[in-house]
């Protein structure tokens, strides 16, 4: 798609109504268009009813809301996600989960010389943090006897089914749903699993006693119905787990291919410590580079309420689906220069050794404008703390013969996982 967009001056406009998408469609990777759609003329470009239908497992929440409803939900979510107390407490939780959850598992894998799927490991690790954040209950997904990785599988199945819905004629996926076949069959099962695990975790949490660090619950718990709480918690866990674990997986894949990056990250940590996350500028840059090349959300979509003219000069009619090609944007010469295809953390560092501020309309992994991701800071804390601990203490050897390719999914998961051996550097 990046190549096609590069040849088409960054925008492709299908003027005819498409039987595939059920709408006229415009795909763009032009930063000026992104700015226009996501910010300047924000009110004209809601997510729309089709988005809500495709992602219906999430229920009715901030993620699917538009207009006044979205404004209200966003204010509430920003209250707790941007609060410094939330961030301090989450930082503590992240380090606790690393020391008492992840490190013992890594030790076991290293001692037993096991092969592990890093994608699965990160999904479980981040899932535990996400549950603690949202309802104050730790399902201990990382422990070997746990069955909670069911939910990671359920989210993956949901992402695949949603991808199929976005790329299939509207009536066809609905027919599949009615017949209970294909990805829709898997989705039905995934939905049941998500609902079941949610109910299970809530009752276990109630048995264990309420943990006051569950900010989300303190903010919304008593104010919403059980369905409202289910929708909010499921959406929050989805937003946290699938995105962050996907970036960590592609990060370790990229670092394994660039040993000099790994060496520089280790040098940086040796000069401070894995705990001093603010000082780990090179690691931060390497994660930004991973997000540029492998953004967890490869596409963003919006629907034009009224006809409009984009900065690129394209005239669109009302009802047109505008697709922001996030993944392609990260791989375009016109946006990143001649070395766009290289994994090069240095591009993110200024001459003063700080992280370069790249406009969100160019680096769209966290979206842009009023709907920009609210969890960016937390995501970096989780990714940096996890990556620093692992890189500093372990040699991670990715199995070269194992295929590394993306899944057809709304989240950029690896189709076959990322298999690796892990050796303790200090024994
Ligand atoms: C590397 C990790 C992450 C990436 C790349 C990421 C990316 C994104 C993107 C692209 C969107 C916009 C989606 C759309 O408009 O369709 C978004 C929205 C959002 N994200 Fe994240 N996210 C990450 C982690 C997180 C975490 C950890 C949280 C929660 C603590 C979070 C909370 C949210 C929320 C609440 C929204 C909805 C904003 C709105 O619609 O107003 N995200 N994120």
99-118 residue pLDDT tens = 999 999 999 999 999 999 99
| Atom 7 of ligand 1: nearest residue by CA position | 366
Confidence of residue 223 (pLDDT cuts 50, 70, 90): low
Q: What is the mean pLDDT of residues 71-89?
A: 89
- Whether ligand 1 lies within 6 angstroms of the CB of 300 is answered as yes
What is the edge-to-edge ordering of all strands in the sheet holding 419-424?
A: 115-117, 419-424, 394-398
Q: Give the β-pairing of 321-324 and 419-424.
A: unpaired
| Atom 17 of ligand 1: nearest residue by CA position | 373
Say what the pLDDT of residue 139 is.
82
pLDDT in tens, 318-336: 999 999 999 999 999 999 9
Distance, first Cα to last Cα, the chain: 46
What is the CA(366)–ligand 1 centre distance, in A? Answer: 6
- Whether ligand 1 lies within 6 angstroms of the CB of 294 is answered as no
d(CA 72, CA 95): 32
Start-end of H helices in 180-225: 182-208, 215-216
pLDDT in tens, 138-188: 888 887 655 446 777 888 888 888 888 888 888 888 899 999 998 899 899
Say what the pLDDT of residue 101 is.
94
Mean pLDDT check: name the lowest of 136-150, 210-224, 352-366, 376-390: 210-224
pLDDT in tens, 287-300: 999 999 999 999 99
**Is residue 159 part of an annotated ligand binding site?**
no
Q: Rounded to an integer, what is the distance from CA 245 to the centroid of its chain?
A: 7
- Whether ligand 1 lies within 6 angstroms of the CB of 375 is answered as yes
d(CA 274, CA 266): 9
Highest mean pLDDT among 78-82, 220-224, 261-265: 261-265
Judge whether residue 216 has pLDDT over 60.
no
Topology of domain 2-422, CATH = Cytochrome p450 (1.10.630)
Query: Do the beta carbons of residue 388 and residue 280 sit within 8 Å?
Result: yes
Say what the pLDDT of residue 146 is.
54
Confidence of residue 217 (pLDDT cuts 50, 70, 90): low
d(CA 72, CA 161): 29
Confidence of residue 209 (pLDDT cuts 50, 70, 90): low
What is the CA(295)–ligand 1 centre distance, in A? Answer: 12
Confidence of residue 306 (pLDDT cuts 50, 70, 90): very high
Query: Do the beta carbons of residue 363 and residue 295 sit within 8 Å?
Result: no
User: 3-class DSSP state for residue 318?
Assistant: coil
What is the CA(371)–ligand 1 centre distance, in A? Answer: 9
Residue 320 DSSP label: P
Token output for 362: 């160019």
d(CA 247, CA 252): 9
Point out the ligand 1 atom lying closest to the alpha carbon of residue 371: 41
Q: 89 exposed, middle or buried (CB, 10 Å; 0-12, 13-18, 19+)?
A: middle
Query: Do the beta carbons of residue 111 and residue 246 sit within 8 Å?
Result: no
- Whether ligand 1 lies within 6 angstroms of the CB of 247 is answered as yes
What is the CA(422)–ligand 1 centre distance, in A? Answer: 30
- Whether ligand 1 lies within 6 angstroms of the CB of 243 is answered as yes
Say what the pLDDT of residue 427 is.
82
Say what the pLDDT of residue 273 is.
82
Token output for 301: 């979509």
Mean pLDDT check: name the lowest of 151-155, 308-312, 339-343: 151-155
Say what the pLDDT of residue 343 is.
97
d(CA 322, CA 341): 26
| Atom 19 of ligand 1: nearest residue by CA position | 373
- Whether ligand 1 lies within 6 angstroms of the CB of 55 is answered as no
Q: What is the mean pLDDT of residues 347-376?
A: 96
Confidence of residue 20 (pLDDT cuts 50, 70, 90): low
Start-end of H helices in 330-370: 333-336
- Whether ligand 1 lies within 6 angstroms of the CB of 371 is answered as yes
The residue that leads in pLDDT, 205 or 75, is 75
Report which of 91, 392, 397, 94 is spatially closest to residue 268, judged by C-alpha positions.
Answer: 392
Q: What is the mean pLDDT of residues 10-25?
A: 76
- Whether ligand 1 lies within 6 angstroms of the CB of 379 is answered as yes
- Whether ligand 1 lies within 6 angstroms of the CB of 58 is answered as no
The rounded percent of the chain whose pLDDT value lies above 90 is: 62
Say what the pLDDT of residue 213 is.
44
- Whether ligand 1 lies within 6 angstroms of the CB of 240 is answered as yes
The dihedral formed by the CA atoms of 137, 143, 144 and 149, expressed in degrees to the nearest 10: 40
- Whether ligand 1 lies within 6 angstroms of the CB of 77 is answered as yes
The residue that leads in pLDDT, 396 or 212, is 396
What is the CA(174)–ligand 1 centre distance, in A? Answer: 27
The dihedral formed by the CA atoms of 50, 56, 61 and 67, expressed in degrees to the nearest 10: 10
Point out the ligand 1 atom lying closest to the alpha carbon of residue 370: 41
pLDDT in tens, 246-297: 999 999 999 999 999 999 999 999 998 878 898 999 999 999 999 999 999 9
What is the CA(246)–ligand 1 centre distance, in A? Answer: 13
Say what the pLDDT of residue 46 is.
97
What is the CA(265)–ligand 1 centre distance, in A? Answer: 26
Judge whether residue 212 has pLDDT over 50.
no
What is the CA(77)–ligand 1 centre distance, in A? Answer: 12
Query: Do the beta carbons of residue 369 and residue 360 sit within 8 Å?
Result: yes
- Whether ligand 1 lies within 6 angstroms of the CB of 330 is answered as no
Q: Where are the domains of the chain?
A: 2-422
């Amino acid at each position: 798609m990046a190549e096609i967009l590069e040849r088409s001056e960054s925008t492709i406009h299908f003027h005819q109504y498409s039987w595939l998408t059920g709408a006229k469609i415009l795909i763009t990777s032009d930063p000026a268009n992104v700015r226009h759609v996501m910010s300047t003329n924000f009110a004209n470009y809601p997510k729309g009813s089709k988005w809500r239908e495709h992602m219906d497992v999430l229920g009715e929440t901030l993620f699917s809301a538009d207009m006044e409803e979205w404004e209200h939900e966003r204010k509430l979510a920003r209250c707790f996600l941007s609060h410094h107390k939330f961030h301090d407490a989450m930082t503590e939780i992240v380090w606790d989960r690393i020391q008492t959850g992840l490190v013992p598992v890594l030790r076991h894998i290293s001692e037993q010389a096991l092969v592990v799927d890093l994608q699965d490991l990160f999904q479980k690790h981040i899932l535990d943090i996400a549950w603690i954040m949202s309802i104050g209950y730790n399902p201990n997904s990382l422990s070997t006897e746990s069955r909670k990785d069911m939910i990671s599988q359920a989210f993956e199945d949901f992402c695949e089914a949603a991808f199929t819905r976005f790329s299939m004629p509207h009536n066809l996926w609905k027919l599949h749903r009615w017949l209970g076949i294909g990805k829709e069959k898997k989705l039905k099962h995934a939905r049941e699993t998500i609902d079941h695990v949610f109910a299970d975790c809530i009752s276990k949490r109630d048995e264990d006693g309420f943990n006051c660090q569950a900010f989300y619950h303190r903010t919304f718990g008593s104010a919403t119905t059980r369905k409202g709480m289910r929708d909010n918690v499921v959406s929050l866990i989805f937003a946290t787990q699938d995105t962050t674990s996907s970036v960590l997986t592609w990060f370790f894949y990229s670092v394994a291919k660039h040993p000099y990056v790994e060496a520089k990250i280790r040098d940086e940590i040796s000069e401070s410590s894995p705990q001093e996350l603010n000082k780990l500028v090179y690691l931060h840059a390497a994660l930004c580079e991973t997000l540029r090349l492998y953004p967890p959300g490869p596409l963003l979509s919006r629907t034009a309420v009224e006809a409009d003219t984009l900065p690129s000069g394209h005239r669109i009619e009302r009802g047109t689906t505008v697709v922001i090609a996030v993944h392609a944007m990260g791989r375009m010469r016109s946006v990143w220069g001649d070395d766009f295809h290289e994994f090069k953390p240095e591009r993110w560092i200024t001459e003063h050794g700080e992280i370069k501020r790249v406009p969100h309309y160019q680096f769209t992994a966290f979206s842009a404008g009023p709907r920009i991701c609210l969890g960016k800071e937390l995501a970096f804390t989780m990714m940096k703390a996890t990556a620093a601990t692992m890189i500093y203490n372990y040699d991670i050897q990715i199995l070269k013969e194992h295929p590394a390719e993306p899944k057809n999914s709304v989240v950029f998961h690896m189709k076959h996982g990322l298999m690796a051996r892990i050796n303790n550097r200090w024994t």
